[in-house]
Amino acid sequence: MSAQTEFAFEQSGADADLLTRLLGKTDQVLVKKLSNNDRNWARYRIDPDTGKINRKRRMNNQAGPYIPVQERDSGFFPSLALMERDSEGDADIWEAYFYTVWPQASGVRKKTRLVHYTSKSSETHLTGLPRELFSELLPASFMVMGRTKHDNEWEYECLTLGSDSEEAVLLSDLFDLDPDFLIGIFEPAERKSAELDRIMTFAEQVIAAWLGGNIAAFAGNNATMPVTAKLAVLARKAFLEKYGLENIDPFALEAPGDALREISRKIEWDLFREYQRRERSVELVRLIMGDQPMEVKASAVIRKLIDELPAIDALMLSASQQRKSRAGYSYEHQIEAMLGDGNIPFEKQVVLVSKKRPDFILPSLAFIDSRKDGAGAGLILSAKTTLRERWKQVEREMEGRRLFLTTVDENIAASAIKDMASFGVHLVIPESLRKSKETEYEGHDNVLSFREFCEQIIKPSLSLWSSS
C-alpha cells in the first residue's frame, strides 16, 4: 500500500475526532484557507511528453504555505530571529524554528521553519511540512494549527482538511467562517464560552416551558424550522435591508453572483443553523424528558439516554441530512427570485423526454425545441451548490441543448473544469471566485461570472425571448 493510500484511508474516518481533540487541548488555533500556491508547492509537474510525474520539478517554488504579516507577528508563532549569513550585503533573512506534529501522517513530528526573506518584501512561509498532506488537496482546503506548550516551548499540532469534507463544514461551523474567510487566529475556549452563553439563553426558555407543561406549544411557536421557500425569503429580505435594495435584479447589481453566494451561503446558512439548533434541542428534550413535567432523577435521565440512543442517532443523522438538502434548495430559490426580479422568462423543473428535470429552462422548453429561427438562443440553467461528481448528472440533461451550470463551489479542480468543457458544459460562478487565488477557475474558456452570464448570454436574447 502506498503512503498516499495510507493517509487517505486514515483521514477518511478519523479527521473529525482529530479536529475535536486538537481544539480541546490548544489555547489558540490558526485556520488558513489554502491558496493554490499553498498547495502547489507540494505537487510535482506532469511531463507533457510522457504524462509522467517529474519529481525534480514542483508546481511552484514557494516551498510552503504563505503566512501574512499580521498572523506572523501576532504572537501565535515564535518571534523571528535574524539568520547569520557568511556573505555581506545579502538581504536579511529572518527565521524561527519549532516543531509541528501531524496526526494524519501517523503523528510524525517535523522541525518546521517560519522564514521571512526581506528581499521579497513581506513574504513569509512555513517550510518543513509533510508534502503528502498537501499534494492531493482540492482548492480552498484548510490548514489548522493548534498551539500547545511542551517543556516551556510551543509545539503545534496540525491538520489539513479537504474543502469537500464534512470536517471542513464542521470547522466553518465551529468558528463561524464566512464564505470569504481566508485566515484567522481563534481561541477555542472563548468560542466555546460564547456558544454556551447563546445556548443557555434558549435553554432557560426550554426549561421554563417544560416545567410549565407547555413544551409542545413552545416547540411549535419557537423551534420549528421554516420551509425552505420561507427561509429563502427571510434571507433575501435580510440581504435587501443590509444593502438598502428593493430587489436582486441581476442587471442592476455589480456582482449578482456574489449576492447569490452571500444570501445562500452566509445569511440563510446562519438563519438555518439557529433554527436547527432550536428545533433539535427541543426535540431532544422531548425525546428524553417527555412533554409533562415531573420529578426526574439523574439515574432515570441516564437510563433514558441509553434506551433512546438509536432514536438520538436518528435525530442527529436527520439534522445532517437536513443541512445537505437545504443548501441545494436555497440556491435554487435565490436564483428563481433573481430571474424574476430581472424579468427574465423561464420555466422551472420541466420534465424532459429523458425524464430529467433541469432546474431552469430559459425561456421555455417549447421555445428551445421549436425549429424557429433563434431557438438556439434558449438554454438550460442548472444550479448545484456543490458539484463533486454531480455535474455528470447535469450533462445528461443537455440532449443537444446549451447547458450552463451555476455553482458557488470553491473546490472544483482544473481537471474537472476541463472535463466539463469537453462535454460542452459552461460554468457560471460568483464574481469573487472568478480570479480568486484559492480557486482554479481562472484561465478556462467555459467559465463565466454570473454578471458575464447575464450581460453576454441572457441580455442579447431577452427581446427575442420576450416576444416569443
Domains defined along the chain, listed by start: 3-186 (2.40.330.30), 195-341 (no CATH), 347-467 (3.40.91.80)
- Residues 18-60 have pLDDT tens digits of 999 999 999 999 999 999 999 999 886 554 455 554 454 455 5
Q: Per-residue confidence at 395, pLDDT binned at 50, 70, 90?
A: low
Q: What percent of the chain has pLDDT over 90?
A: 51
**Stretch 308-312: mean pLDDT:** 81
Q: Is the pLDDT of residue 203 over 70?
A: yes
Whether 161 shows a pLDDT value over 70: the answer reads: yes
Residue 372: pLDDT above 80? no
Give the model's pLDDT for residue 58.
Answer: 52
Tell me the pLDDT band of 63, cut-offs 50, 70 and 90. confident
Report d(CA 183, CA 437) in Å as an integer.
Answer: 13
In whole angstroms, what is the distance from residue 468 CA to residue 466 CA? 5
Instruction: Report the percent of the chain where pLDDT is more than 70.
Output: 87
Q: What is the model's pLDDT at position 134?
A: 95
pLDDT of 245 strictly over 50: yes
pLDDT of residue 12: 41
3-state secondary structure the chain: CCHHHHHHHHHHHHHHHHHHHHHHHCCEEEEEECCHHHHHCCCEEECCCCCCEEEEEECCCCCCCECCHHHHCCCCCCCCEECCCCCCCCCCEEEEEEEEEEHHHCCEEEEEEEEEEHHHCCCEEEECCCHHHCCCCCCCCEEEEEEEEECCEEEEEEEEECCCCHHHHHHHHHCCCCCCCCEEEECHHHHHHHHHHHHHHHHHHHHHHHHCCCHHHHHHHHCCCCCHHHHHHHHHHHHHHHHCCCCCCCCCCCCHHHHHHHHHHHHHHHHHHHHHHHHHHHHHHHHHHCCCCCCCCHHHHHHHHHHCHHHHHHHHHHHHHHHHHHHHHHHHHHHHHHHHHCCCCCEECCCCCCCCCCCEEECCHHHHHCCCCCHHHCEEEEECCCCCCCHHHHHCCCCCCCEEEECCCCCCCHHHHHHHHHCCEEEEECHHHHCCCCCCCCCCCCEEEHHHHHHHHHHHHHHHHHHC
Residue 460 has pLDDT above 70, yes or no: yes
Does position 10 have pLDDT exceeding 50, yes or no? no
Mean per-residue pLDDT for 294-304? 83
| 450 or 87, higher pLDDT | 450
pLDDT band at 162 (very low <50, low <70, confident <90, very high): very high
Mean pLDDT of the chain: 86
pLDDT of res. 314: 80
The confidence score (pLDDT) of residue 7 equals: 34
Q: What is the pLDDT of residue 338?
A: 97
Q: With a cut of 80, say whether residue 229 has pLDDT above it.
A: yes
What pLDDT score does 102 carry? 97
pLDDT in tens, 173-199: 889 899 999 999 999 988 888 777 777
- Structure confidence by residue, pLDDT tens digits, 424-443: 899 999 999 998 999 999 99
Q: Indicate the range of 145-154, 192-201, 262-271 predicted with least confidence.
A: 192-201
Tell me how crowded residue 113 is: count the other CB atoms within 10 A of its CB.
16
Residue 452: which pLDDT band, with cuts at 50, 70 and 90?
very high
